[in-house]
Each structure stands twice: as C-alpha cells, then as structure tokens.
Chains A and B, each alone.
Chain A
C-alpha cells in the first residue's frame, strides 16, 4: 500500500498530524483518521475540544508542579494530607502509581524528569531549586526520594541529596529488595545481595 499519495489533502493533513504522536506510524494514523471520519460531527467536536482545552487550560501546581486544573493541585490543597512529608517523583505517572498504593498520605514534588545528558536533560531543567525552597520554608520533616533505580535515577537522587543534606530534614529513599510474592531462587543476585545487606527487623516487617 502506498501511503504517500492520498486522494484528499484534508485526509493527508490529518494523517500527518496523527503520525507525529509517539508510537503511531502512518498506517495506524490512517486507521485512526478513518475511524474519526465515521463519527458524528458532534462527537469529533468533543474530542477536538478536549485536546484544545487540555493544552490551553492545563496548569502546573505551583507547589508540587504536578499537572493540575487549579493553581494548587487537589493533593496539595487537601487539608487531611500530612504536609510534613514530601515524596519526590519524576512525573505524574509516578504520582498516580504511588497514589494507587493508598500507603502514602503526604505531599509530592514532581521534578519533571531525571538528569540525563543523552536526552538533553540537565540539573537546571528540573524542579530542584523549588524543592529546596519548600524545605527552606519549614515544616518539612522528611523527603522521600522515589525515583527509578536506574543509573540516571540514582544520579538525580544523589544530586538532590547534596542540595538538601545541610538542611534540617530527614532524607530517605524507597527500599530496594525482593518483590513480594517472589521466590528467592528467581530473584536476581544483585537485588538479593542488597536485600541481605539491608535486611530489616522482623517485627517491622509484620506491621504492614
């Protein structure tokens, strides 16, 4: 099938726009566009407007920098959350993942990425200074670093640690170890080794 020749300019424009999206090739783009063509005009308006509205009206929470509809997001403005804990994450996907655990009742701080020169992201592209600012304002007891355990995640953790270590705040990071429900013999040696070194008090382990 030749996809470079379309009988309609309008069709071609739409396909080109869809094909710009990550993970969408020209074939998929055409399939999506043809699907949209079958919809009621009204439906398509709702679809297009939601995108427009998203782009023009979305805000970043002025406290934690998470994506939000309001100036301050509904986590930061929720009075029942414990404001002395801040969990530092890479992006909104991680906020959602941690929220789904229902184990954390503190606040977040969204960095907007992790340090990776290969992807063109340096320390100044991240919301680190604003995190330091939040700590300086006072009232924060603990910062929980919750970044990926990749090289880049570790490096970013370390960078933040260096920025905060002289301030009066406890800095912790996610535990690394054997996954729950895993059999030991199938756990990779590095993780298992780390779990032995950083073993925990049994009494603490049964409180969960």
Chain B
C-alpha cells in the first residue's frame, strides 16, 4: 500500500504544492524550518485525521488564510483510493473517501495504516505511565474493537466507583455493598484487559528485541515489561485489601489503570540509565516492532514515516538502520534529513526506486 500523489493547499507553511511519490523511498531534504516535517504531518493527517504535532486544526492553517486542504491518491489492495481532508476555520473538519463524506472520522482511521518515528516519541520514555498505556492501548485497539469497548467500560466503572468514594467521604458514611457492585465490574473488564496486554507484550517483545539488536549491533539486551498489581494478585482480592486506603484517598488506588510498562536496558530502567542514543534506538526498535505487528494483523504494509531519525545516533547505528529499512520487508518510506549524506548511502544500497525532494520555505524543487 502506498500514496501515489499528494496535493496540499494552505497547510502550515505550504501555499500550494503537488507531489508524485514513488512506492519506494521518498526523501525530504531541507534546512530547519523549511517544512519537511509539515509534509510528514500532511501524510499523517490523511491516516489519522489529525496532526501528530498540533491537535488544534485551526493552527495548522497557513497564516492569514481561512482553510486548508490535503488530498492524497493511494494504491491500496490493487485499487485506487482518494482521501480528502478539508478544514475551514469555524467549520467542521471534512474527510472524504473517493468523494464520499465520512459520517464519523473514526470510520476512516485504520484504512491507511501508517507508522511514524518522530523525536516526540521520547515522551514515551520520559513521560508518565499514562503515555505508555496510551501507546499500548492504541496499538491493541486498532485490531481489537472488544478491547477498546472493555477499556471504555472499565473507565466508566472506575469513574463511578471514585465518585462513590468521594460521596462516602463527604457524608462520612460507608456501604460495602454499594462499592462491591462496582468492584465486580472493574474485575470483569479489568481481567480481560490485563490478559490482552500480557498477550500483546509477549507477541511484541521478541520482534522488538530483534530490532534493537540489529540496530545496536547486538550489544545490549532490552526488555519491555508489564508492571501491574494484577500480575501477583487476584484483582477482586486486591480491591478488597485496598478499600481502606481507597476510602482515605477517595479514589481507586489499584487496578489496570495503574499499570505501567517498564522500558529496560540490560535490566535497568532506560529512563534513568540510558544515553540519548540508546533511548532513540529503543524507540526506533519499538516503532519498527509495531510496524511488523500492524503489517501482520492488517495484511497491509503500513506507510513508514521516519522524521529526523538519524539525530543522536552514532555512525554504526545509522548504518544499521539504513540497512534494515532498505530491506523489502518495508514498503513505502518517507524520510527527512537536513543533508544528503545518510540518504545517498541509503539510496545506493536500495534496489527499489527512490526520489529526493528538496524543500525550502514551503516550496519544492525536484
């Protein structure tokens, strides 16, 4: 699956540009602020109905204009798909597939699988556990609608239970029966979510480790571990044991909403002990593992966006990534860089077609 043509109007610093891409490697080269990443964002928009940089649509319109438009022509399972995204200030964002409006944006997400590797991924390591849970939940939800439904229901039950705890504290009363009925719901959905997360980590782990070893040259061993109260305890029992604490805190202090995923390097948390290059390698390997996962499940080869991927990595690792990505396991790739150095090496090794776009000031010179 790949995008053949892209047309953008008034999107960020681009006034009007048209692109014809190859199904192999597409490179955007330019100085800082030229608009390389904005092009990546336009492609991302067409897959996820939003920007990966700025979730406020109005701020993605070119200065002093009142609308933007992105249109892409894709080749998907031997047929052509035209995806249109239009946004006018103060109006609703419109998405169309082959000239036909979508009723809900969520119906579109998943049609054009795409994986992006960006410097913003570092939030997964440095941010709170909610960032890591969201990453895992998003990946699982993309192929398992029941998981998403369970998650929504779990969060609803959690909200109700916390509300009840607050009311009890306010009235200085307590009814264990009223709490228990919410415990039952949390246990019912929580256990299913827990089981799915375990399965997911087990499946992702070996692929992820393999990618890390390939990029790092087999030097370090990495791990991705689920940290959950449910691993060693029965959830129902846990809720009963912590009720005293929950009453004091006025919220539910145990459950899958407290899960975390330990990102480890040689058995130690990478957040504390990893170098910047090691963290970057970790994240690239994680995203490539996600790529394999999506590819297997959707049966489509996702589009791969590599934004500023060579930053912070040593020469060997860069070379390994180049080698890895040149493999025909990957499909269409977009890559940004400030110079041609790495890209020329990459192109010389590549069997498939490649195309270089030089970007400056929201303009393209082929």
Assess whether B145 is in contact with A117, with CB atoms less than 8 Å apart.
no
Assess whether A159 is in contact with B159, with CB atoms less than 8 Å apart.
no
Assess whether B149 is in contact with A190, with CB atoms less than 8 Å apart.
yes
The chain B residue with its CB closest to the CB of A151 is: B156
Assess whether B181 is in contact with A123, with CB atoms less than 8 Å apart.
yes
Instruction: Judge if A204 is at the interface, Cβ distance under 8 Å.
Output: no
Instruction: Judge if B182 is at the interface, Cβ distance under 8 Å.
Output: yes
**Which of A150, A154, A188 is B145 in contact with, Cβ under 8 Å?**
A188
CB neighbours (8 Å) of B177 from chain A are: 123
CB neighbours (8 Å) of B146 from chain A are: 189-190, 193
CB neighbours (8 Å) of A122 from chain B are: 164, 175, 178
Decide: A158 near B163, CB < 8 A? Known: A122-B178, A123-B177: no
CB neighbours (8 Å) of B185 from chain A are: 151, 154-155, 158
The chain A residue with its CB closest to the CB of B181 is: A159
Shortest CB–CB separation between residue B308 and chain A, in angstroms?
Answer: 36
Assess whether A115 is in contact with B167, with CB atoms less than 8 Å apart.
no
The chain A residue with its CB closest to the CB of B148 is: A190
Assess whether B160 is in contact with A152, with CB atoms less than 8 Å apart.
yes
Interface string of A100-120 (1 = CB under 8 A from B): 000000000000000111101
Assess whether A151 is in contact with B157, with CB atoms less than 8 Å apart.
yes
Assess whether B159 is in contact with A118, with CB atoms less than 8 Å apart.
yes
Instruction: Judge if B184 is at the interface, Cβ distance under 8 Å.
Output: yes
Assess whether A155 is in contact with B182, with CB atoms less than 8 Å apart.
yes
Decide: A155 near B181, CB < 8 A? Known: A117-B160, A118-B160: yes
Q: Complex: how many Å from CA A108 to CA B287?
A: 55
**Which of B149, B178, B184 is A158 in contact with, Cβ under 8 Å?**
B184
Q: Complex: how many Å from CA A155 to CA B156?
A: 11
Shortest CB–CB separation between residue A97 and chain B, in angstroms?
Answer: 24
Assess whether A189 is in contact with B145, with CB atoms less than 8 Å apart.
yes
Q: At the interface, is chain B mostly helix, strand, loop or mixed?
A: helix
Decide: A117 near B181, CB < 8 A? Known: A151-B153, A152-B160: no
Shortest CB–CB separation between residue B362 and chain A, in angstroms?
Answer: 41
CB neighbours (8 Å) of A117 from chain B are: 160-161, 163-164, 167, 178, 182
The chain B residue with its CB closest to the CB of A120 is: B167
Decide: A115 near B181, CB < 8 A? Known: A190-B149, A193-B146: yes
CB neighbours (8 Å) of B156 from chain A are: 150-152
Assess whether A155 is in contact with B157, with CB atoms less than 8 Å apart.
yes
Q: Complex: how many Å from CA A39 to CA B30?
A: 76
Interface string of B160-196 (1 = CB under 8 A from A): 1101100100000001011001101100000000000
Count chain A residues whose beta carbon lies closer than 8 angstroms to a beta carbon of B. 20
CB neighbours (8 Å) of A155 from chain B are: 157, 160, 181-182, 184-185
Shortest CB–CB separation between residue B184 and chain A, in angstroms?
Answer: 6
Interface string of A173-208 (1 = CB under 8 A from B): 000000000000000111001000000000000000
CB neighbours (8 Å) of B145 from chain A are: 188-190, 193
Q: Complex: how many Å from CA A27 to CA B13?
A: 46
Which residues of chain A in 154-169 are interfacial with respect to chain B, using CB atoms and an 8 Å cutoff? Answer: 154-155, 158-159, 162
**Which of A116, A123, A159 is B160 in contact with, Cβ under 8 Å?**
A116
CB neighbours (8 Å) of B181 from chain A are: 115, 123, 155, 158-159, 162
Q: Complex: how many Å from CA A123 to CA B159?
A: 17
The chain A residue with its CB closest to the CB of B155 is: A151
**Which of B153, B163, B178 is A123 in contact with, Cβ under 8 Å?**
B178
**Which of A118, A124, A154 is B163 in contact with, Cβ under 8 Å?**
A118
CB neighbours (8 Å) of B184 from chain A are: 155, 158
Which residues of chain B in 249-265 are interfacial with respect to chain A, using CB atoms and an 8 Å cutoff? Answer: none
The chain A residue with its CB closest to the CB of B162 is: A117
Q: Complex: how many Å from CA A186 to CA B51?
A: 28
Q: Complex: how many Å from CA A155 to CA B186?
A: 10
The chain B residue with its CB closest to the CB of A193 is: B146
The chain A residue with its CB closest to the CB of B157 is: A151
CB neighbours (8 Å) of A116 from chain B are: 160
CB neighbours (8 Å) of B149 from chain A are: 190
Q: Complex: how many Å from CA A193 to CA B181?
A: 26
The chain B residue with its CB closest to the CB of A192 is: B145
Q: Complex: how many Å from CA A118 to CA B157?
A: 11
CB neighbours (8 Å) of B182 from chain A are: 117, 155
CB neighbours (8 Å) of A162 from chain B are: 181
Interface string of B32-72 (1 = CB under 8 A from A): 00000000000000000000000000000000000000000
Interface string of B329-356 (1 = CB under 8 A from A): 0000000000000000000000000000
CB neighbours (8 Å) of B159 from chain A are: 118
CB neighbours (8 Å) of B161 from chain A are: 117
Which residues of chain A in 140-160 are interfacial with respect to chain B, using CB atoms and an 8 Å cutoff? Answer: 150-152, 154-155, 158-159
Q: Complex: how many Å from CA A118 to CA B184?
A: 18
Question: When A and B form their complex, which 8 residue pairs have the shortest distance between CB atoms, in order from nearest?
Answer: A189-B145, A117-B164, A151-B156, A117-B163, A190-B149, A159-B181, A118-B163, A117-B160
| 17 examples of A-B residue contacts, CB within 8 angstroms | A115-B181, A117-B161, A117-B163, A117-B164, A117-B182, A122-B175, A123-B178, A150-B156, A151-B153, A151-B156, A152-B160, A155-B181, A155-B185, A189-B145, A190-B145, A190-B149, A193-B145
8 more contacts with CB within 8 A, not counting A150-B156, A155-B160, A189-B145, are A115-B181, A117-B160, A122-B175, A122-B178, A124-B175, A151-B157, A154-B185, A155-B185
